[in-house]
Amino acid sequence: MIRSPQSAIRDDLAQLPEIKKWGWVIYRCTYGDDATWVKFRDRVEAHSRKRIAQSDAPEIADRLEWTWIEDASALDGASTAALRERFRAWTAVEVARQPGNYQPTVIPRFRYFIKIDQEVLDSLAESISRETHWSDDAFVKFVDGNWEPLDESQQEREQEDDGWEREVLESIEDCTEKDVGWMRIAPHMINADFYDVLSGDENQWITFYERPPSIVQY
């Protein structure tokens, strides 16, 4: 019998009692449109919790925490690199206060985070008032907190291994690699389903990754 994502998260939490919460950190990096931000935040909370309530493991709602971080003085216009440093510091504190026999990189809460900047908010604005679905153009930025850019020697080794000249891609945040460390995902993916599929395997990033401006749907 195939487990539902909700029951899988319940089982994972039971196996790792040290981990108190599940759910991603979400950084607000634009502060000019409070109305869209509040509607987005409320909709994520409402829809994700409604799906859990209708599932076979409603109790996982008690340990769900979408960690909304707002700080205009520090986060307004923050780069992905700056957020990654902030997230790593947050993760280090969280892991230190929840010691146990686990690998943080396979726990989605400690590996990935979500960035909401002006580009994201603009994509959400068109469909923010809809109660049924997001528009096909809506997205949030899903960031791999462990990502590091390749140095020149790594790029040369990859080129040698591939056996052909490295493709020069359009620069995204000063990165011309295929994997730029973040991707656009549909807003409805802020839920138990996507969280569960990323759990327990640090290589799942490769399975889903698409280079921006593509929007991943799951």
- The pLDDT confidence band at residue 87, using thresholds 50, 70 and 90, is very high
Rounded CA-CA distance 37/32 in Å is: 9
Q: Please say if the pLDDT value at position 39 is more than 60.
A: yes
Question: Closest Cα partner for 183 from 151, 208, 148?
Answer: 208
Tens-digit pLDDT profile for residues 61-79: 999 999 999 999 999 999 9
Q: What is the average per-residue pLDDT within 52-62?
A: 98
Are the CB atoms for 200 and 106 separated by under 8 Å?
A: yes
Rounded CA-CA distance 196/109 in Å is: 11
Share above pLDDT 90 across residues of the chain, in percent, rounded to a whole number: 84
Point out which residues pair with 140 in neighbouring strands.
Answer: 185
Q: Which residue has the tokens 């108190």?
A: 20
Question: Closest Cα partner for 180 from 80, 30, 76, 82?
Answer: 80
Q: What is the pLDDT of residue 2?
A: 81
DSSP state of 171: P
Rounded CA-CA distance 50/177 in Å is: 39
